[in-house]
Structures are given as C-alpha cells and as structure tokens.
Amino acid sequence: MIAFDVRTAFLILGLLYVLLPTITWVVLAGRRTLQVGLWCGGGLLLGCAAILVGLRDSIPEWITIVLASTMIRVSLLIRIQSLRLELDKPWPWRWLALAEIATLLIFLSLQYGLHNFVLRAQFNSAVMTGLLLHLALLAWRIGRDEQSSSAKWIARIYGLVVVALLFRLYSLFGETGNTNFLQEGLSAQLLTLSLVLSAIVGHFGYVGLALDRALRRELLAVAERARDEESRRLGSQIAQLDRQRSLGELSASLGHELNQPLTAILTNAQVAKRGLQAGRFDAGQLGEFLDKIIHNTQRASQIIERIRGFIRPSVTRQEQVNLQLVVAEVAELVAAEAHKRQVTLSLPAQPEPVLVMGDLIQLSQIILNVVRNALEALTAMPRREICITCHGEDGRARLRICDSGPGLTPEALTQAGKPFFTTKPNGLGMGVSISKAIAAQHGGTLTLANAREGGGAIAELNLPTLQREEPL
C-alpha cells in the first residue's frame, strides 16, 4: 500500500491548486484572456474543494460531501468551458448551470433521500469521470490540431486521473454502508496521487499552451498586417491600372479635346505670322492673337496635367477635398466623350462647398467609373442625360449620379461590386468593386439603385464631411 496519508495529501493538493493557478495568472500577465481566467478560476475552486475534503474530520460533513463535491464539479465544468472556448465551441452558460443543478438534485436525493451513500459515491465518481474524460479529449484535440505538446501533456495527465477514477468506481461495487474517501485504501490513494500530478503537470502544461497560443496569435496578427499591407499595395496598383484603362478607352475623346486648343494655337500663330509678313497688323491686333495663343496653350497644359495627375502612380494622401471641384474636373475629363455620345451632363450649382477628407485622385476615380458606366448605358436611349448633385447633410456628403438609362437588372443590383462581375461584353468587372473599396477606405459607401420614376440608375457616394469652418 502507498505510504502516505490521504488527508494530508488532499491538503497538499488543495494548496497546489490554489498556488499554481495564481502563478499561472501572474506568468500570463499581458496574455490573459477569458480562457485563461476560467482555467485559473477553475483551479482555485478545485483547490478550495480539496482543502475542505482534507479537513473532513474538523468541519461539518455536509460541507465536505455536498459543498466540496459541488465545487469540484463546477471547477471541472469551468475548465471544460475554457478549452471549448479555445476551440471556438463554447457551451451556453445556462446549459452548464442547468446540468449542475440537475446533478446536485440527484446527488442530494441519493444522500439525504435514499440514504444510499455507496450509490451517491458511485454517481459522483461517474460524473467526475465523464467530465475529466471530456476535458482530456478536448486537450488532446487542441494538441492534435495545433501540434501542441503542452496540450497533449494536459490530456495525458487528466487521462491518468480518469483511470484512477475508474479504479475507484470499480472498488465501490460490492461496498455497503457509509463510505469515507479518506480511509478507502488503495483506490483513494491512487486517485489522490494522480490529482497531485495533474495539479503540477496540468498547470505548467497550460502555461505552455497559453504561451504557444499567444505567440501564434501574435504571428497571425503580424501575418495579417503584412497581408493587409500587400493587399493595399496591390489594390493601389489595380486602381492605377483601372485609371489607365479608363483613360485608354477615352483616348480618342481626350485626343479630340486636346486637338482643339493645339489647332487654335497653330491657326492663330499662322495668322499672326502672315499678318506680320504683310505688314497689316498693328500692336493691338498682334497682342490679341498672342493672348489667344497663351489662352489655348494654358488650356492644353491643363488638359495634359489633368491626364498626368490621374494616370500616374500616387501614394494615398489624406487631405481636404472639395467634392464639387472633383465633380467639375471629372466632367471636363469626359466632356468630349459625352459630346460624342450626345449626352447632356448636368451639374446644378451648390451654394456651399462640400468638404471631405480623402485622396483626390481616388475619389475622382469613383466618380469617373460611375459616369463612364452611365455614358455607356445611355448609348441606345432616346433621352440621354446625366445629372450629378452634391450636398452635405447631417455630417455626411451625398454625391448622387443619376442617368436616364434603362436602369440596372435585379442581378446587377445584387452582384454589382463583386470582383469580375460585369454586364459589358468586354468589361473586366473591377470598376465598381474598386470604387466600393475606395469608398470604404474613406469611411463611406457607394450604393447603386434604380430610380422609382422615369427609369435610370442612381449611384450615391456617401462620405463623412468636414466642418465648414475648416479651410480648404
């Protein structure tokens, strides 16, 4: 027979289960989670219960039998919940409470109703065996899924306690009368020894598991940040390519728009030259033609600069942007294309500027994508109009682009914005997706809908506004 006193061993066990959870809580400072709190709390509760069992001869029997047994079951349920939270499969707390209440009622009926102390001990041992077996299986599953040797050690040590409990349960068969766990011999001693080992190995194993999971979370967070940065970088490249593609498709119209001031410059220069050669121009007439040349040169320069600014790669900048000016610049960019398609662009004047914080080029890209889609949708329509309004309301900027086209199909309304979905024969399906992503990055939304009356589609860009008193 093992030479140690069970009562003393339970007192030592209680002290271990009070001390080691405290050490675990201190060691895991900065990495504490609900799971860690439940594991340590369950250990403290188990330690207090073990101390009550060790003091059985010094305190009322109902405390060591009823209260201590209840505390042990609750501690095991709490620790099970801790591991289930690690697996993202927690049980509802009300289920745990109802299960413990039902178990306690059965326990009390066997103890005080039937006065069958052996059956009560068998029932209590069976319940604890089931709880510890579930705890060991959960730890093993975590160890298998995460390749954690610490979790596997937790599973092994609690598996040993399960074996000791099964041996105690077997030893209770054939017993009669009252049972005294502190004097039941080999089964009680083996169970006590296994519990002492579980206190040491289980807690240090849990520290290892918690540190492993904390390190894994940190690594995942770093990897997630790296993916986000890479996604933003690739997103910026895709957005830039989309801008280049948009301007590429507008190249004929832009070439026509640029050709007008260049032709005017050439014509005015030739007329001025011939006038000077013939001696027909005075200083006033020459100055007038030079002013025309300067005006058209500036106009051509503005067109080129607008194209360069829109197409070149840029780092995302946060600055105050007047949405009305952005709308005006995009309208100038597509003016030639709108004229070619015989589409009327309407930009009602607003009394006050609508200021937002964002990247001017990216916001221009949203508006350009929507306007170009509207231009294409109006190709076969008898009435071809696009109306762009912009106003601030309740701290939000609302920019609406309405067209007189056929509107959006039900499929387009639900699928628009998903990458690679397009209704165009040669479309890439990225324009609306990029535009919605840009709107989200600016703390806003881009929504598509159909007009209730008169047909046509409505795109609304909703962004947070800046205070009016802030300078532009």
Considering the domain architecture, whether residues 215 and 118 belong to the same structural domain is answered as yes
Structural domains in the chain (count): 3
Q: Of 313, 346, 366, which residue is a domain's last?
A: 313
> Is residue 245 in a domain?
no
Instruction: Out of 297, 313, 329, pick the residue that ends a domain.
Output: 313
Q: Is residue 302 part of a domain?
A: yes
Do residues 341 and 258 both lie within one domain?
no
Mean pLDDT over 351-363 rounds to 82
Q: Does residue 336 share a domain with residue 305?
A: no
**Are residue 51 and residue 150 in the same domain, yes or no?**
yes
Torsion of CA 64, 70, 76, 77, to 10 degrees: -170
Rounded-to-integer distance, Cα 164 and Cα 136, Å: 14
231 in any annotated domain: no
Specify the CATH number for the domain of residue 170. Answer: 1.20.1070
Question: Looking at this protein, which amino acid is placed at residue 23?
Answer: I
265 and 384 share a domain?
A: no
Give tens-digit pLDDT for 268-279. Answer: 777 777 777 777
pLDDT tens-place string over residues 28-74 = 877 778 888 898 899 899 989 888 888 877 888 788 888 988 999 99
Same domain, 254 and 380: no
Does the residue 418 lie in any domain? yes
Judgement on whether residues 301 and 416 belong to the same structural domain of the protein: no
Range 94-109 average pLDDT: 92
In this structure, the answer to whether residues 331 and 465 fall within a common structural domain is: yes
pTM recorded for the entire structure:
0.51
Q: Are residues 361 and 374 in the same domain?
A: yes
The Cα 34–Cα 402 span in angstroms is: 51
User: Which residue bears the tokens 């040590």?
Assistant: 157
Q: Give me the CATH number covering residue 356.
A: 3.30.565.10
Counting residues of the chain whose pLDDT is more than 90, the rounded percentage is 14
Q: Which domain holds residue 17?
A: 6-226
**Is residue 303 pLDDT above 70, yes or no?**
no
pLDDT tens profile 206-257? 888 877 777 777 777 776 776 666 555 555 555 555 555 555 544 544 554 5
Where is pLDDT greater, at 316 or 157? Answer: 157
Give the separation between CA 153 and CA 156, rounded to whole angstroms. 5
* Dist. CA 157–CA 198, nearest whole Å: 5
Q: Which residue has the higher pLDDT, 268 or 258?
A: 268
* 449 assigned to some structural domain: yes
Contact, 18 vs 193, CB < 8 A?
no
Looking up tokens 């895991």, which residue turns up? 28
* Range among 232-236, 279-283, 370-374 with highest mean pLDDT value: 370-374
% of the chain exceeding 70 in pLDDT? 78
What pLDDT band is residue 113 in, cutting at 50, 70 and 90? confident
Question: Does residue 238 sit within a domain?
Answer: no
Tell whether 441 is covered by a domain. Answer: yes
pLDDT at position 470, please? 44
Are residues 268 and 219 part of one domain? no
Per-residue confidence band for 25, with pLDDT thresholds at 50, 70 and 90: confident
The predicted model gives 100-105 an average pLDDT of: 93
The residue among 39, 110, 36, 24 whose CA lies nearest residue 69 is: 110
Residues 43 and 25 in one domain: yes
* pLDDT at residue 1 is higher than 50: no
**Which residue, of 313, 332, 356, is where some domain finishes?**
313
* Residue type at position 469: E
Same domain, 256 and 308: yes
The residues with which 387 forms a beta bridge, in sequence order, are 346, 402
Whether 234 maps to a domain, the answer reads no
Residue that the structure tokens 């320069």 belong to? 301
What are the backbone dihedrals phi and psi of residue 368, each rounded to the nearest 5 degrees, phi first? -65, -45
pLDDT at 348: 78
pLDDT higher than 60, residue 79: yes
pLDDT at residue 249, rounded to an integer:
47
